[in-house]
Amino acid sequence: LNNMEVVETHVAMLCNYEVYKFLVKSQEEAKNDKKSQDLATITYETKEYLENTPCTSQNPEIIKQIITELSNYNLTKAEKLQLLNITPLSPVEIQLVIEEVEERFSEQEISELLETISKLIPNANNIEEDGAENIET
């Protein structure tokens, strides 16, 4: 593990769901492997963070469906990925994800986009509320 290096940068962008599933699998495989405590800590902390995001209720079918639905909007790949990962629930959150949103989309289109996201990503609202509660306590 100490000889790890980046072979190709920017080959692909991963959504939180893909990272989460990889970490769960890696953590299970590395339970008996004590080679790198630092890697184990990073894996654990990242997995713990992702468990409080909507990615835990996603699956490949949902991801494919939302990417297909988002194709109806003039969005970059990075914006689609951020919408999938962040699952914005308000127009303000959309503004943080989509560059020049007021110039590119009408208020009606933003509302439709929010509706599409909340409809296709299960438990997005509940996870956001739970996450807010965890931060406050």
**pLDDT over 70 percentage in the chain:** 77
Confidence (pLDDT) at 95: 93
The pTM of the full predicted model, rounded to 2 decimals, is 0.73
Which pLDDT score, from 0 to 100, does residue 97 have?
92
Mean pLDDT calculated for residue range 81-103: 93
Contacts 24+ apart (CB under 8 A), 65-73: 65/120, 66/116, 66/117, 66/120, 66/121, 69/116, 69/120, 70/113, 70/116, 73/105, 73/109, 73/113
Please report the pLDDT score of residue 130 as a whole number. Answer: 47
pLDDT tier, 71 (very low <50, low <70, confident <90, very high otherwise) = very high
- Of 120 and 108, the structure prediction assigns the larger pLDDT to 108
Q: What is the per-residue pLDDT for 137?
A: 38
pLDDT digits (tens, 9 = 90+) for 17-62: 999 998 888 877 776 666 677 778 888 899 999 999 888 888 999 8
pLDDT band at 135 (very low <50, low <70, confident <90, very high): very low
Q: Which residues contact 56 (CB under 8 A, 6 or more apart)?
A: 20, 50, 127
Q: What is the pLDDT of residues 92-102, one digit of tens each?
A: 999 999 999 99
